[in-house]
Structure 1
Amino acid sequence: MSHSDAILDRLMSLHPKVIDLSLDRMERLLAALGHPERAIPPVIHIAGTNGKGSTLAMIRAGLEAGGARVHAYTSPHLARFHERIRLAGTLIAEADLAAALEECETANRGLPITYFEITTAAAFLAFSRVPADVTLLEVGLGGRLDATNVIAAPELTVITPVSIDHTQFLGDTLPLIAAEKAGIIKPRIPCVVGPQEDAALRVIEARASGLTAPLFVHGQHWHVAPERDGIVFQDETGLWDLPAPSLIGPHQIGNAGTALAALRMLGATHDQARAAVTRAEWPARMQRLAHGKLIRAAGQQAELWLDGGHNPAGGRALAQTLAALPPRPTHLVCGMLNTKDVAGYLRALAPHVESLTAIDIPDEPNTLPAADTARLAREAGIPARTATDTTAAVAGIAQTEPAARILVCGSLYLAGRVLRENG
């Protein structure tokens, strides 16, 4: 176990008995640290239910192509915590991470605080000490009361598509959830809005209007569409004719549009726009695996894919992606959390897959038992069975269908586990 892992384990024990979403603990800790959040490079703050990470990755690729040094904060991590904090383009070093976490632990004095709050404070501390031109900040949960929402005057806010997720914290209707996401909008600060359902857009527009924040809205102020084998982005400034996004799936066109709209507001060039869509990398979003022990279990003829989407909108995006790929019998290996709308996720995928093998997510207390996942799959019309682990599931599918398309899916926690174990 690394030094930073040991500190992260200790910080878990400070967790409040009940998570009340509030900024009080965060503000107390930041004051004790001397307000590092006020000393970080200009912030682009990104909220939304789906597509935050992909959109951030594309904005980062575009900015870096223009020579900018970019800090980035994302969550959750897949293989190791360091992935969450990128300092001027490079993942945070172990020594820097351990130092920032220890400083936050000392300043917090053993008081209740969530894991996300104290690690976000550590990210701000690290960002305040390394020179950069821009900070890309991804919201963890919601927006209004998220630990990242302590930045009083960001350069730009961005809201990616809003859908129903985390209902236990954010409310169970689209307008309620959109109100939480719109909580990142700040007075007179421009906000880029990705593709939205009308009910969500109305809430975002009302919030922006009350704060006189200029909106740059998909379908009104900017448009993006597939064209031949690329995409076209258009706004009142003009048109960008670009290659297809390197991130796979039709939903990535909307994410690309959102990233391009943000880059346009930041004065990006056509070359930067091109880099945004072609150079972005974002693991476990319809990622094709090419080596490792799972490939050996799958055999030479199979295709092996990994995706971390986990809510009904993620299921629909995945279904569209599968529909757009060359036809091939598709079999799922699926592990999900018991906090998710599993039935909604699986219903979207049912028409596109031949079978599902359900597994528990290893070492995850909130895993949905494999037998329950399999039952819900059958109710959605997908033939299903269970397996002891990912490798056994993949090998079982390959045995009956050697040329299968095998997709490991259902949770970012499962995706991270696969990436770690697969090597």
Structure 2
Amino acid sequence: MLKETVLSNARIVLDQDIVDGTVIIRDGRIADISSGPSRIGEDFGGDYLIAGLVELHTDHLEAHYSPRPGVRWNKISAIQAHDAQVVTSGITTVFDCLRMGSDEDGGFAKGEMREMADAIQSAAREDRLRADHLLHLRCEVSAADVLEHFADFENDPAVRLVSLMDHAPGQRQFQTMEQYTLYYKTKRGLSDEEFAHFVARRQESSARYAAPHRESLASVCAARSITIASHDDATLAHVEEAKGYGVRLAEFPTSLDAADASHAAGMSVLMGAPNVVRGKSHSGNIAARDLASRGVLDVLSSDYVPLSLLHAPFVLADEFENITLPQALAMVTSTPAKTVGLDDRGHIAPGLRADLVRVRRDHGVPVVRSVWREGERVA
């Protein structure tokens, strides 16, 4: 017998329009969309019905697993806490970021992220999780051991996204020493001499390892059909390099030139939703709203605040006449799904997964009322 759910009197956000109507779900899929209310089913009372959000880049799990320096929390507990918060933020598909490669920040030990991935998959098998969890490996190409860490995921089909990043001073995110000094010297309380040695080690490691590691990782990803992201591109040369590697996602470009060129090359340009909500970058780089005004902002990421992924599209639709709510929500639903090859979600359309979110928003911060993943209510 078919399981059917009716969601009525909703403001349904489609790809190009918002329709007052009813959605019918059958066996986990969207079966029908019609205008007008229904006399049966759940009455939304005019709340929005949107596609479940697709999160490509979040460090949120790491904050639960290592909530304080040197502290490691129970992995299953950390995963469940992370999962609960992303789902109640409207996120039904989440790419959990796992760090590959140790650096001067310490990072994680060899095998530690593999254990975390195993715990995520174990939690999913035990029906502990409400969102669909996939893996995003954040590869620090300047780290000596990044390929060794990456090898732990050689045959893992859950790996659907790999980002190539270099956080050494003078590179990408930290092109100026002013930014780098603030982020590392001040944050870590280093003396001038300690900071000088710190910078020298990072620069030497980048010069030695970054290029060959970037080449090796890109080659493996191409062979395994894993989507590649380039992180913090700053120059046109960086964008040309990314094009050569088949990069599909430009994460957090740090200059307008890099963002424009990445978008023109057909890459999806990703910026942080917190950047949109706050109106500026926490690290002093370009503002996401500037990219929105230029028409080159394609994807948003909650990065470190899960609810920002739902909040930011409403901010964009409020503040930019050229961005409609359906267009803004596409940045957190259909476009990220398409970028990583998930063609079964991200839209409200017949035949697709019933990953859906009921949202109430009269003004200010939107409120998630209910969440369905594959037709099952999970929040």
Output the TM-score relative to the length of structure 1: 0.29
Q: Identify, as 1 or 2, the structure richer in helix.
A: 1
Output the TM-score relative to the length of structure 2: 0.32
Q: Identify, as 1 or 2, the structure richer in strand.
A: 2
Whose RCO is larger (CA < 8 A, sep 6+)? 2
